[in-house]
């Protein structure tokens, strides 16, 4: 059974940094496309960043240059390094995985069709 468990969320002041982690189990981790979504209260879920099995990455325009997605195949762990955080980055962040989809879909969709999700970790950025 596929499991995705996020950690690393918290509260930080604007301009600060956080690193989210997503520990994966139950499937051939390295062959999947994986990514991060976020959802703020009253807003739709949006794709943030994604990375595929070849290491290709994609980012939402709102986070380009500030966020970096990476993965450690040996540890079956996905990361999201978030720098220069802004109050508008405040949201619940979710890890997601799917073998069929690509990094473009992850970032530009609302997450529909994606099979596997974590439970989420809260990120709060104060001004």
Per-residue pLDDT of the chain (127 residues; tens, 9 = 90+): 889 999 999 999 999 999 999 999 987 777 899 999 999 999 999 999 999 999 999 999 999 999 999 999 899 999 999 999 999 999 999 999 999 999 999 999 999 999 999 999 999 999 9
The sign one gets for the Cα dihedral 29, 114, 40, 15 is positive
Half-sphere exposure of 107 (CA within 13 A, CB side): 18
Q: How far is CA 42 from the centre of its chain?
A: 19
Q: How far is CA 48 from the centre of its chain?
A: 6
> Rounded to 5 degrees, what are φ and ψ at 87?
-55, -35
């Amino acid at each position: 059974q596929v499991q995705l468990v996020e950690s690393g969320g918290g509260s930080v002041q604007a301009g600060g940094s956080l690193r989210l982690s997503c520990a994966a189990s139950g499937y051939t981790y390295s062959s999947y496309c994986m990514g991060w979504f976020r959802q703020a209260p009253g807003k739709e879920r949006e794709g943030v960043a994604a990375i595929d099995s070849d290491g290709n990455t994609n980012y939402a325009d709102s986070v380009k240059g500030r966020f970096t997605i990476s993965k450690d195949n040996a540890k079956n762990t996905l990361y999201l390094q978030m720098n220069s955080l802004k109050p508008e980055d405040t949201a619940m962040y979710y890890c997601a995985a799917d073998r069929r989809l690509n990094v473009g879909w992850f970032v530009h969709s609302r997450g529909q069709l994606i099979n596997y999700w974590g439970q989420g970790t809260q990120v709060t950025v104060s001004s």
